A and B are shown apart, each in its own frame.
Chain A
Amino acid sequence: MINLPISIDAIIPEITLACGAMFLLIIGALSKRIITNTLSYAAVLLLIFTFFLLVSLNWDTSISMNGFFVMDSFAGLIKSAVLLSMAGVLALSTGYMKREEIVAFEYPILVLLSTLGMMVMVSANDLLSLYIGLELQSLALYVLATIRRNSLRSAEAGIKYFVLGALSSGMILFGSSIIYGFAGTTNFTAIAEAFSANPDMKLGLSMGLVFLLSGLAFKISAAPFHMWTPDVYEGAPTSVTALFAIVPKLAALALMMRIFCEPFMGLQDMWVQILWVLSVASMLVGAFAALTQENIKRLLAYSSIGNVGYALIGIIVGGTGGLGATLYYFLIYMAMTAGTFGIIMSLRREGASLEKIESLEGMSKTHPVQAYVLAILMFSMSGIPPMAGFFGKLFIFESAIAGGYIYLAVLGVVSSVVAAYYYLRIIKVMFFDEQVEELQYETNVPRDAVIIVSILIITGLVLMPEPLLIMTQNATASLF
């Protein structure tokens, strides 16, 4: 055994992922044939293997890598969710990429590297590692958005995403530099200590935090920093849109929770105001702007903006109750979105992929099973009582009321009622409109498996909603 100057035990999953991704990259580059599909399955296996490595680790709070890396049960839970959902997204996309003739073998590798970035983000214990992780994941995502490079819309999506993403990274850096200037350190724990030692640096720290927060709000597409979301979701290939909608926001939300709970806990009165505005704006934008959308991907973009608004409520409330509810809500949202995208990717009309909502007309007659599955997903998304989505919203609003944020809860309920309109409209189109053109459903084993898992999660949580909530609350307890 080699004697290393620092212990690398805690980052073994990250190292495995990085080395695996590089290995697959070399295989892909050296292979004479195009082996995108094989590489995708290998990448799924690698993600699952990394997940098992992660589970086998000790999840007690420990800080390693000279203070840059923290491992605790919060990071463990989020990373597990990221890894599994990334494996799900890759499984969703294999058939789709093949059909759409996107053959770049780099696709699964970029997915792996962005996963690595998210893991670094989730475990960040320093502004430097925060930035490195954030940049690693977003750089890979910029490329993924543009990967169908012959399509003008994909290129436009990529450029928009890249320019605005670079701007937000710049803001994060600027904010970090201000924070460093005042606190004299970039380490989260040390920032908290420095602040409690001299509270008169509050003004400077909050200035830096504002910049940091606006950059992060870009990444989670919270209104009013949401402008890129609909265009990028629409322009990117649907499998990449699914990725955007499902995974990166979880990592960014987890990062926000960590920076609010550790270095900037003392500034709570400051950031709660900002988050309040972000949350309300996102909920309203998500609810009202989606009403007029005809394109399913744009609709889901606005839906994701609205969902980020709900998720932020839990962070505002804070404490294990609030944060746990947010995590719970977002995990369910991820499962629902995965199922929805799975069905959309499977449907085709006259050989082309589905884009318009009205293309779903009369789906209940030709493909009743899929129509009912999508209906369940939509009911759950809109938060109609028996479904899992209802519990997600219920716990969030419950925690808001318990925390004394009555207005937030009321606004949340109002906007989710408005949002229910467009979710239910999809059901109406499927079940009550006459079919004009034929709709084909394409069977693909991994994709159908993801849809089934998603439905199982949603219906399973109906039967017992409590255990997952307890799990998320326990995980967030390690932040305090």
Chain B
Amino acid sequence: MLAALIFYLFAGILSLSALMVITARNPVHSVLFLILAFFNAAGLFVMLGAEFIGMLLVIVYVGAVAVLFLFVVMMLNMEFKELRKGSMRFIPVGLLLGGVLLTELVIVYQTWKINPKVLTETLGDSAAAPEVPLTNTEALGQILYTDYIYIFQGAGMILLVAMIGAIVLTLRERSGLKRQKVADQQKRQASDVLEIKKVTPGTGI
């Protein structure tokens, strides 16, 4: 009962904020609603018993990715009204295409049923499960670096390429910049730059 209530709370806010993401007039509000949607999705994950994924969603998407989103949107100061001016013309086409796609998906999903083989395999595994059930994190860790190592490393290479790309496209070496070199500052001795002269009165140097 309570679980159902909490589920509907999360799911309801999630769908509403997803709707607001695309309808909000102010792009910053859109991003804020997107964050709310992420957060509620994380709540749903926790309810599913996938607490690790849920927390990761908050840490990575809410805590880091969406911050940068918000940054960009705030800095750009876009006039979305201008951008949206022409878009009303395409709404009929969009609705038509969306409607066709939705109908197709509905028809397709009506034929859906769980592949019996999958059912037997998962159930078979849980029957042979150890006495103390694994936590999420342990379960993920056990397959991520063994069964899925190929994919994991591949994803790592993709991130490397993304990093190289970001650096290639944005890093500009400017010449003639003055930079602080802490080591050089520390190395500097008073005797290198300072000369003490004994000046007798009335003579000058």
The residue that B151 contacts in the complex, of A22, A132, A200, with Cβ under 8 A, is A132
B65 proximal to A (CB < 8 A):
no
Asked if A106 and B168 sit within 8 Å, CB to CB, the answer is yes
A272 proximal to B (CB < 8 A):
no
Report the bound CA distance from A65 to B150 in whole Å: 6
Asked if B111 and A203 sit within 8 Å, CB to CB, the answer is yes
Report the bound CA distance from A461 to B33 in whole Å: 62
With an 8 Å Cβ cutoff, the count of chain A residues facing the other chain is 45
Asked if B154 and A184 sit within 8 Å, CB to CB, the answer is no
B24 proximal to A (CB < 8 A):
no
Asked if A142 and B165 sit within 8 Å, CB to CB, the answer is yes
Q: Which of A133-141, A226-234, A292-300 contacts B (4 or more CB under 8 A)?
A: A133-141
Report the bound CA distance from A355 to B6 in whole Å: 63
Asked if A200 and B108 sit within 8 Å, CB to CB, the answer is no
Report the bound CA distance from A113 to B147 in whole Å: 23
Report the bound CA distance from A265 to B13 in whole Å: 43
Report the bound CA distance from A113 to B162 in whole Å: 11
- The CB with the most chain A CB atoms within 10 A, among B108, B149, B155, B162, is that of B108
Asked if A120 and B147 sit within 8 Å, CB to CB, the answer is no
Whose C-beta in chain A lies nearest to the C-beta of B167? A106
Q: Mark A180-196, 1 if CB is under 8 A from B, else 0.
A: 01111100000000100
Specify which chain A residues have a CB less than 8 angstroms from the CB of B164 in the assembled complex. Answer: 25, 106, 109-110, 113, 143
Specify which chain A residues have a CB less than 8 angstroms from the CB of B109 in the assembled complex. Answer: 204
The residue that A203 contacts in the complex, of B107, B146, B158, B162, with Cβ under 8 A, is B107
Specify which chain A residues have a CB less than 8 angstroms from the CB of B168 in the assembled complex. Answer: 104, 106, 110, 143, 147, 149
A129 proximal to B (CB < 8 A):
yes
A116 proximal to B (CB < 8 A):
yes
Asked if A139 and B161 sit within 8 Å, CB to CB, the answer is yes
Specify which chain B residues have a CB less than 8 angstroms from the CB of A197 in the assembled complex. Answer: 117
B87-141 contacts to A (CB < 8 Å):
104-105, 107-109, 111-112, 114-118
Contact status of A132 and B155, CB under 8 A, knowing A143-B161, A207-B105: yes
Asked if B154 and A132 sit within 8 Å, CB to CB, the answer is yes
The residue that B108 contacts in the complex, of A106, A147, A203, with Cβ under 8 A, is A203
Report the bound CA distance from A293 to B114 in whole Å: 53
5 residue pairs from A and B, CB less than 8 Å apart: A5-B146, A128-B151, A143-B161, A178-B108, A182-B112
Closest 10 CB pairs of A and B: A184-B115, A184-B118, A143-B165, A132-B154, A65-B150, A207-B108, A66-B147, A68-B150, A139-B161, A106-B168
Q: Which residues of A contact B (CB under 8 A)?
A: 5-6, 11, 18, 22, 25, 65-66, 68-69, 104, 106, 109-110, 113, 116-117, 120, 128-129, 132-133, 135-136, 139-140, 142-143, 146-147, 149, 178, 181-185, 194, 197-198, 200-201, 203-204, 207
Q: Which residues of B contact A (CB under 8 A)?
A: 104-105, 107-109, 111-112, 114-118, 146-151, 153-155, 157-158, 160-162, 164-165, 167-169
